[in-house]
Amino acid sequence: MDGNNSATAGDAMSVYVDSAIHALRGRLMCHMFSPDLDALHAMARRIGIEQRWFQDPLTMAVSWPHYDLDQTRRAVAVELGAVICDRYQTVAMAAIIQGRPDKLRRIRALADPGRAFTPARHVPEWLAEQGFAQAWDW
């Protein structure tokens, strides 16, 4: 990976952390997420996060599945291969996770086409099924 933490096509990653940093109980927090819940939970275990902290839209009032991370665990996740996403990439991944191609089309119109980003391995197939080109530039 390069200094911008972008992945090449051959290095497709499946776990992501966002660049949104929010204060929560005196700590700076962000989100860790993936369309692949097994990969997400595996990364959580690797960085020392308990699965009971998983934010599950099936059981909680949240819009997408994720973990909240403090900055220390975010740094470890990135060292272990998590991909840093900007706000458009994060919202695009949330739309993919939610199965919302309509939302994804609107986001693509707003996103910076110059950003290097590789989605999870199964995302190109899902995008093709939804009518998007396989070589969709993020």
1 vs 23: CA distance, rounded Å: 29
pLDDT in tens, 1-58: 333 333 333 334 479 999 877 777 777 889 999 888 899 999 999 999 999 999 998 9
C-alpha neighbours within 13 Å on the C-beta side of residue 46: 17
* Least confidently predicted of 58-62, 83-87, 100-104: 100-104
pLDDT tens digits for range 116-131: 555 555 566 666 666 6
Domain range list for the chain: 14-84, 87-129
User: What pLDDT score was predicted for residue 98?
Assistant: 82
Q: Token pair of 6, please?
A: 């972008």
The mean predicted confidence, pLDDT, of the chain is 76
> Which carries the bigger pLDDT value, residue 110 or residue 77?
77
pLDDT band at 75 (very low <50, low <70, confident <90, very high): very high
Structure tokens at 30: 């962000």
Where b means 16+ CB within 10 Å and e means fewer, 19-37 reads eeeeeeeeeebbbbbbbbe
